[in-house]
Structure 1
């Protein structure tokens, strides 16, 4: 079984977040968690798998 890898992560608005060496979904999640901790990405954001890579989505606020 091959592990899926991704070389791009973009914000939902299309702004690039990461474009580099292929990384696993787990590594991408760690990267997003670290960005949330630094305040670079909003709390409640999560990764969505898209045909073109990974997308950072925001949790809907009611």
Structure 2
């Protein structure tokens, strides 16, 4: 597991955590799309850039 300098021993870097999340998310999305809702909570925030590069954020219900 790649570690960034300055992280306490055993604490993965943000990059490692993000990569693991994306890998699991897309695996579930392709294999069992009916379970993707488990990655979200009632108050999850989702963001994406619009065609001009501005971030648009919504909160799930």
Taking structure 1 as the reference length, what is the TM-score of the superposition?
0.35
Q: Which one has more relative contact order, counting CA pairs under 8 Å at least 6 apart?
A: 1
Structure whose alpha-carbon radius of gyration is higher = 2
TM-score of the two chains, using structure 2 as the length reference: 0.35
More strand by share: 1
